């Protein structure tokens, strides 16, 4: 399900500078400053704090303060994850998508788009991912359709979100960031390693128990 090989190791404790610890602690994970992050991507990106801290600030805006409703953001991220085959992003955002009100059937249908029964606004969001990946831009027709449902700031966030999660997925794959060992891995077929039905998970800081929902 996740046969990616690490190219950049988790940052060894001997290299835990204060700048690296700020990377560990950025998302508010309990005891991360002292113990390191349990999230593999943070332990890899901590090799380069000067790059990662502005990346984290930008990521936090898109994930937590995006002008798009969370449902649309999760459709975007799941479609990106499927298109570029990012097992890490898919695994994490299935739970976020469920928490945003998507059903497992809808998440499964994200893989098969444009097949399925989608509203025009869902369809133009998913189609924008494909159009940007395939053509490097959006047509006037797509931009005008987006304008029926989203204002200028939301359309800007939509394009930036797509680009950001493509970049992030490329980095995860290229650096060899693995899904955390304690996680109940969710594959592109929506089957978990344990055989349990995937459940809701919470974004960082969304609830007091957000770290517990991820299972590691």
Span 139-177, pLDDT tens digits? 999 999 999 999 999 999 999 999 999 999 999 999 999
Torsion of CA 195, 200, 206, 208, to 10 degrees: -60
Mean pLDDT, the chain, rounded, equals 95
Is 72 in the same domain as 154?
A: yes
Res 1 pLDDT > 60: no
How many Cβ atoms are within 10 Å of 148's Cβ, its own excluded? 9
Is 33 in the same domain as 81?
A: no
Per the domain annotation, does 8 fall within a domain?
A: no
Is 113 in the same domain as 25?
A: no
Per the domain annotation, does 82 fall within a domain?
A: yes
pLDDT of residue 215: 81
pLDDT of residue 212: 87
- State the DSSP code for 113: T
Q: Which domain holds residue 188?
A: 68-210
| Domain C-terminal end among 29, 63, 97 | 63
Is 58 in the same domain as 101?
A: no
């Amino acid at each position: 399900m996740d046969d990616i090989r690490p190219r950049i190791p988790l940052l060894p404790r001997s290299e835990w500078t204060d700048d690296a610890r700020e990377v560990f602690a950025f998302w508010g994970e309990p005891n991360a400053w002292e113990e390191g992050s349990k999230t593999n991507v943070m332990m890899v990106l901590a090799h380069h704090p000067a790059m990662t801290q502005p990346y984290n600030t930008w990521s936090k805006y898109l994930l937590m303060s995006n002008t798009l409703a969370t449902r649309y953001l999760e459709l975007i991220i799941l479609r990106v994850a499927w298109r570029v085959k990012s097992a890490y992003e898919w695994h994490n955002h299935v739970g976020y998508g469920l928490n945003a009100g998507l059903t497992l059937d809808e998440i499964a249908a994200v893989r098969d788009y444009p097949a399925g029964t989608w509203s025009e606004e869902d369809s133009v969001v998913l189609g924008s991912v494909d159009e940007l990946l395939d053509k490097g831009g959006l047509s006037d027709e797509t931009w005008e359709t987006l304008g029926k449902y989203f204002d200028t700031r939301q359309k800007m966030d939509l394009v930036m979100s797509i680009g950001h999660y493509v970049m992030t997925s490329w980095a995860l794959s290229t650096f060899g960031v693995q899904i955390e060992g304690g996680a109940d891995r969710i594959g592109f077929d929506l089957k978990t390693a344990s055989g349990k039905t995937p459940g809701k998970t919470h974004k960082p800081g969304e609830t007091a128990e957000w770290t517990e929902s991820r299972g590691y």
